[in-house]
Amino acid sequence: MSRTVGRVLAESLVAHDIDTIWMVPGESFLGLTDALTEVPEVRLIVCRHEGGAGFMAVADGRMRGGRAGVLLVSRGPGLSNAMVSLHTAFHDATPLVVLCGQVERKDFGRLALQEQNYSKLLADVTKDVIEVNEVVQASESIARAFHLAESGTPGPVAVILPEDIFDEPCETPIAKPRPRVFGGAREEDLDQLATMLARAERPLIWVGGALANASAETLGELQQLAEQWVLPVSPTHRRPQLFDAGHPNYGGYMGIRVPKQLADEMKKADLLVSLGERITDSVSQSYSFPTAPDPQLPLVQVWPDANEIGRVFRPDLGIAAEPASVIRALLKRGAPEGAAKRQGWVSGLNAIHRKLMAPEWESTSDGVNFAAICVEVAKHLAPDAAVTSDAGNFSSFIHRYIGFRPGQNFLSSVVGAMGAGVPMAVAAAIRRPGKQAVAFVGDGGALMTGNEIATAMQYGAAPIIILSDNKRYGTIGMHHEVRYPNRPYEDAVRLTNPDFAAWARVFGAEGITISSEAEVEEGIARAFAVKTKPVVVHVHTSAVQMSAWRRKGAPRVHG
């Protein structure tokens, strides 16, 4: 028999070093899954919902050093279910290749079962939509998809595959992977950056997404740069692992709603250098620091894609390059004279950070203050742990009370999509068996994608899932209280939840309940002692302690 398009596509994925595909089965791509059964280099992970499968593919790519993960979904409802992961990948600048079935070519335009115009549907959440309607372009389309997904500003690329194309004979050679092209900084730009840093008395360095998959060597060079040049370094929203939170040059976490004391001190900076950070509204505190479009202080932005620099903010200097190359170039130039004069500035920021991260909290009468959980979990985290977080106010406790460091991997939806926490932890546990994968999730997100515990059971993965249950969509409740004080809102956010420990046991996982602070130490220790199956720690948390920085009815303490 001659080779088919399905076989060519399978071999093309192998050529691009793909060993895992995350999927929910569908009849629109049976010709591809049939071909993949003869390709032992690729395993298919069968998931329970396309939204969960998509988050797993996003996380898997990050676990593989920032390569594109691969999601396989059926047309129409399948892709619609997966849209949350495409939205996440697009806004988070994360590479993702989505293979999607389509109706047969002879039925295009007839509104056949589940037919959609994917170029229109996906125009705002992908870098490109590649429709494979010609046999000779099948392998080439895979090569193009990976190139686009991983180049410049990374993001999702969709490859649309009609159902009838897979069994067509195809003798086209397998398209080889295209070399990654990296922009480089001009010497004059590096000279200008070095001069600006040398003259600054209060510089501030942000490190973000373009360094999220940096090597240990690069992160070590970043630390060396901070020490030699006497610079404070602040990881940005959902990237806490990029700089050691215990290092004296740590300048505080630049996440969403930075505490006012730290934000006020940061605003005294006379130079902001954004190394690999796009500077979204979350990082810039709703475009107030720096102000958009014209920053209130000199701004240098380093990002791999020139089209992204200057799109929102007008920088004084833009460098279209990999941040790692800029770090190395500055190290080669050597520290400027007088750098030591900045020590007071660096130490002042670090002192505020250390004060804010102190393991202190007030107990609550309506449930466990989630601070107690995070402080205890921090004691058990391995140096190479993968930690995932869903969206919600509970995540503020993670960033306040857990000091991350290079070597650990933090996985989340930077854009704030609920439902990412559990599937990302499942993906991390499947990708790295035997290593810690710890998910933090709220009661809202848990019932969006928590069914992927079944996927963990199927593939022998053992993530630890810390579930904060305050019986409400807590973040929305907080926003309602702030925006409309003294108005009732509980009916708009209240949840009726199951016994999540019992729910876990139904899947075959371990279930642990924590209802009081007296149970925290033992409960968390039990969870980390389980090595062979998933664990769900059901924590009955306080609704009065709305976030790590705010109590219900108390004055606002964050910026």
Q: What is the reported pLDDT for 180?
A: 86
Mean local confidence (pLDDT), 434-449 = 97
What is the set of domains in the chain, with CATH numbers? 5-162 (3.40.50.970), 187-356 (3.40.50.1220), 370-551 (3.40.50.970)
Mean local confidence (pLDDT), 416-433 = 97
CA-based torsion, 133, 135, 137, 139: positive or negative: positive
Q: Which residues contact residue 206 at a Cβ distance below 8 angstroms, ignoring those fewer than 6 apart?
A: 233, 234, 235, 236, 254, 272, 273, 274, 275, 277, 279, 283
For residue 230, give the nearest of 348, 349, 340 by alpha carbon: 340
Per-residue pLDDT band at 554 (split at 50, 70, 90): low
Token reading at 316: 């004084």
Look at residue 326 and give its three-state secondary structure: helix
Q: What is the reported pLDDT for 555?
A: 52
Q: Which residues of 426-451 are buried (b: 16+ CB within 10 A; e: fewer)?
A: bbbbbbbeeebbbbbbbbbbbbbbbb
Measured CA to CA, the distance from residue 181 to residue 171 in angstroms comes to 29
335-391 tens-digit pLDDT: 999 999 999 999 999 999 999 999 999 999 999 999 999 999 999 999 999 999 999
Q: Are residues 15 and 177 in contact, defined by beta-carbon separation less than 8 angstroms? A: yes
For residue 222, give the nearest of 412, 409, 405, 414 by alpha carbon: 405
Measured CA to CA, the distance from residue 331 to residue 334 in angstroms comes to 5
383-424 tens-digit pLDDT: 999 999 999 999 999 999 999 999 999 999 999 999 999 999
Q: Is 303 exposed, middle or buried (0-12, 13-18, 19+ CB in 10 A)?
A: buried
Kind and range of the H or E element at 539?
Answer: strand 535-540
Tell me how far CA of residue 462 lies from CA of 215, 375, 423, in angstroms: 26, 22, 12
Measured CA to CA, the distance from residue 146 to residue 70 in angstroms comes to 10
Helices assigned H by DSSP within 24-115: 30-36, 50-63, 77-92
Across the chain, mean pLDDT equals 95
Mean local confidence (pLDDT), 285-300 = 97
Percent of the chain predicted with pLDDT > 70: 99
Residue 112 pLDDT > 90: no
Q: What is the reported pLDDT for 111?
A: 86
Per-residue pLDDT band at 557 (split at 50, 70, 90): very low
Measured CA to CA, the distance from residue 55 to residue 20 in angstroms comes to 14
Treating both helix axes as pointing N-terminal to C-terminal, what angle do 138-150 and 5-15 enclose, rounded to 10 degrees? 30
Mean local confidence (pLDDT), 480-490 = 87
Q: Are residues 175 and 143 in contact, defined by beta-carbon separation less than 8 angstroms? A: yes
Per-residue pLDDT band at 5 (split at 50, 70, 90): very high
Q: What is the reported pLDDT for 558?
A: 46
52-89 tens-digit pLDDT: 999 999 999 999 988 999 999 999 999 999 999 999 99
Range of lowest pLDDT (148-162, 352-366, 474-488):
474-488
Q: What is the reported pLDDT for 552?
A: 83
237-292 tens-digit pLDDT: 999 999 999 999 999 999 988 999 999 999 999 999 999 999 999 999 999 999 99
Tell me how far CA of residue 315 lies from CA of 191, 198, 278, 288, in angstroms: 16, 18, 12, 15
- Please provide the DSSP assignment of 45-61 as one string: EE-S-HHHHHHHHHHHH
Q: What is the reported pLDDT for 113?
A: 84
35-52 tens-digit pLDDT: 999 999 999 999 999 999
